[in-house]
Amino acid sequence: MRVIYIHQYFVTPQEGGAVRSYYLAKGMVEDGIEVDLITAHNKDYYDLKIIDGIRVHYLPVFYYNHYGFGRRIRAFIRFVRKAKTLIQKLPRPDLMYITSTPLTTGLIGIWAKMKYALPYVFEVRDLWPEAPIQMGVVRNPLMIKFLYKLEKSIYRHALKVVALSPGIKHYIEKSSHETKVYLIPNFADIDFFEPYQNSNVKSMRPLTISYAGAIGRVNALHEFVNMAAQAQYHQKNWHFNIMGSGADVPRLQRLAEEKGLRNLSFLPFGNKEAVRDLMERSDVMYISFAHHPVLRTNSPNKFFDALAMGKPLIINHEGWVEELIHNHKLGVLFDAQEPEKSWSLLETFMEDKEARELARKNARALAENSFSSDFAVKRVLNVINPTKHPLKVNDGVYIRTA
């Protein structure tokens, strides 16, 4: 079997970032599937690399987080055009596996289906354009109408759709009744991220709360800075870390400076090893998004990394991830809109060693029992080749093999 895998933002574990596509493509290769993965890089030439058996094609399409909406759209369309040209040079695949974001990658699938009768599976990581519309990034009524029409067309033409969260799955099924949707959330790398024990750590060190990931307005990390300010005001022996890169870093640094924070550190973007090192030094990990309903459906990578590391969690928004945290006693919700109540819950949790130890054990158990990368790979193989990989489909939150 031959698969063309499309992911505009593909990265390897050594590069850091969202590595879901690396593990899924690697799982396909290990199953005997020939995989050509088409992505982009910020260089002015085409490149080809063989990465763990995956033929990775790098197209010259520049893209940076600080790009405005117009420049982003131009980069998305440029990638679509170059990907189409490359596909015509590659051996004909049996299937295309296309992942968002951006949504525009779905245009490649529609084109390939219409021109070459190639089926495609479309993986939905975020609800786009719903997210930028709710955040006010897209306001033009005609553009909004066009984007919704494009979204439905991509779902309708897909052979199957993969959703990364229950909320995304429900949204797609509601908007496109004829589309078969499979739930395959992000996963925990339980072999790489393992609970860390260090009996030599001094008990007097500060309790450490860390965030690792993208740093943009959508992540609402000003709430994390305000939490650090509140902890400093109450003279808590806590330290806060923000690791990552993004357009909002300068604003957050100015905010921290204005508040005179001595308990907050900004760390540069790091690869998978750097993230693991940060988690080893942290007592609790923080998950954060802006308070838009659509963002409650997100399936953040770092949440699953934290589960694998056995880390208690603080989350700033409601949604399916918060429900997991609440139902499995993994940590607490810190709602900035209810500061007094949230501070009381946070203070109690941070100072309760038994509660944090229980959360640590529960997190690792959830990662092993429900969100192993092996489960995700098996589910994807079932989606693209159900005859060879029969699997009992479970429509719940958890991913279990038959």
- Give 61's pLDDT tier (boundaries 50, 70, 90): very high
pLDDT at 16: 79
- Cα three-residue angle 13-14-18, rounded to 5 degrees: 35
Structure tokens at 316: 């700033």
The token duo for 310 is 């056995």
pTM exceeds 0.75: yes
Question: Looking at the structure, do residues 170 and 212 belong to the same domain, yes or no?
Answer: no
Residues 347 and 379 both lie in one domain: no
Strand partners, 162: 123, 182
Residue 4, classed as helix, strand or coil, is strand
pLDDT value for 132: 84
| 254 within domain boundaries | yes
The CA distance from 263 to 260, in Å, is 9
**Same domain, residue pair 127 and 225:** no
At 396 the pLDDT is 37
Distance of alpha carbon 391 from alpha carbon 374, whole angstroms: 13
Positive or negative: CA dihedral 298, 345, 276, 184: negative
Identify which of 16, 113, 132, 120 has the alpha carbon closest to the alpha carbon of residue 73.
132
Instruction: Specify if 389 maps to a domain.
Output: no
175 within a domain of the structure (yes/no): yes
Residue 283 lies in a domain: yes
Rounded to 10 degrees, the C-alpha dihedral 323/325/331/332 comes to -20
Q: Are residues 341 and 377 in the same domain?
A: no
User: Are residues 215 and 298 both part of a single domain?
Assistant: yes
**What whole-number percentage of the chain has pLDDT above 90?**
78
**Together in a domain, 349 and 271:** yes
How high is the mean pLDDT of the chain?
92
- What pLDDT score was predicted for residue 193? 92
Is 200 a domain residue? Answer: no
- Are 258 and 378 within one domain? no
Question: How much is the pLDDT for 198?
Answer: 56
Q: Which amino acid is at 364?
A: R
Instruction: Write the CATH number for 83.
Output: 3.40.50.2000
Residue 395 has pLDDT above 70, yes or no: no
Strand order in the sheet with 120-124: 47-51, 54-60, 34-41, 2-6, 95-99, 120-124, 160-163, 181-183
Element (H, E) at 77: helix 69-87
Domain-embedded: residue 182: yes
* Alpha-carbon gap, residue 348 to 368, rounded angstroms: 28
Query: At 23, which amino acid appears?
Result: Y
Q: Kindly state whether residues 343 and 281 are assigned to the same domain.
A: yes
Q: Note whether 178 and 238 are same-domain residues.
A: no
Residue with tokens 């520049």: 62
In a domain, 325, yes or no: yes
Please give the torsion angle defined by the CA atoms of residues 222, 223, 227 and 232, in that order, rounded to the nearest 10 degrees. Answer: 20
376 shares a domain with 270: no
Phi/psi zone of residue 135: left (φ > 0), alpha (ψ -120 to 50 degrees), beta?
A: alpha
Provide the pLDDT confidence category of residue 17 given band limits of 50, 70 and 90.
confident
* Listed range (172-176, 252-256, 286-290) with the worst mean pLDDT: 172-176
Token readout for 399 is 């991913």
Number of domains the chain contains: 2
Whole-number Å distance between alpha carbons of 348 and 343: 8
| Domain membership of residue 312 as a residue range | 207-369
Question: Is there a single domain that holds both residue 266 and residue 376?
Answer: no
Task: Report the alpha-carbon distance of residue 239 to residue 208 in Å, rounded.
Answer: 5
Percent of the chain topping pLDDT 70: 95
Q: Greater confidence, 373 or 361?
A: 361
- C-alpha 345/C-alpha 313 separation (Å) is 13
Residue 137 and residue 171 in one domain: yes
Quick one: which of 284, 305, 287, 307 has its CA closest to 355? 284
